[in-house]
């Protein structure tokens, strides 16, 4: 008998009260985080123990993760989407970074504020909303 892990409940729990943004920028991950922290007043730090590792076709891919938790009711996760030709979310290949916001407060307003703030930083070309139902591999974002 083969056991199969059902990730759907884990995914549902992780994505409660969340929104995802896709960001297109030529900036390297450390430059991108520095710009967000400096210009927008966030305090993202590298989550080195939570680096996301995927193995596809006998290759290992390592995607950096940055976190910022301003309060117990709000967390921000910034995922690197591309690593040496591999993608954390292949269905969003054109996106360089994924910003996941988890909050118990007004997510629509918070997402709008983050989106508008990101657009003020030079070298950020596009900021788009990523609908959760269009994310084919949501388990890749679970830390």
Please report the pLDDT score of residue 1 as a whole number: 65
Residue 119: both structure tokens together: 């657009």
Please report the pLDDT score of residue 59 as a whole number: 75
Q: What pTM does this model have?
A: 0.87
User: For residue 135, what are the CA distances in angstroms to 27, 79, 99, 103, 138?
Assistant: 24, 14, 13, 19, 6
Residue 16: both structure tokens together: 């409660």
User: For residue 115, what are the CA distances in angstroms to 31, 36, 54, 94, 104?
Assistant: 18, 12, 28, 17, 18
Q: Which residues of the chain, if any, have pLDDT below 70? A: 1-9, 12, 48-54
The SS3 assignment for 70 reads: strand
Domains of the chain by residue range: 18-135
Please report the pLDDT score of residue 99 as a whole number: 96
Helix 29-40 vs helix 107-118: angle between axes, to the nearest 10 degrees?
Answer: 110
Question: pLDDT tens for residues 35-59?
Answer: 999 999 999 998 866 666 667 777 7
Answer whether 73's CB lies under 8 Å from 64's CB: no
10 phi and psi, to 5 degrees? -65, -40
């Amino acid at each position: 008998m083969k056991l199969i892990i059902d990730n759907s409940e884990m995914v549902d729990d992780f994505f409660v009260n969340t929104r995802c943004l896709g960001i297109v920028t030529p900036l390297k991950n450390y430059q991108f985080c520095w710009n967000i922290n400096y210009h927008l007043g966030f305090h993202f730090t590298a989550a080195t123990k939570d680096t996301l590792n995927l193995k596809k076709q006998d290759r290992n891919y390592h995607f950096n993760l940055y976190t910022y938790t301003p309060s117990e009711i709000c967390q921000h996760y910034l995922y690197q989407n591309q690593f040496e030709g591999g993608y954390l979310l292949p269905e969003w290949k054109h996106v360089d970074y994924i910003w996941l916001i988890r909050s118990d407060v007004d997510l629509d307003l918070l997402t709008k504020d983050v989106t508008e703030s990101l657009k003020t930083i030079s070298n950020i070309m596009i900021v788009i909303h990523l609908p959760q139902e269009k994310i084919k591999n949501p388990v890749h974002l679970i830390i």
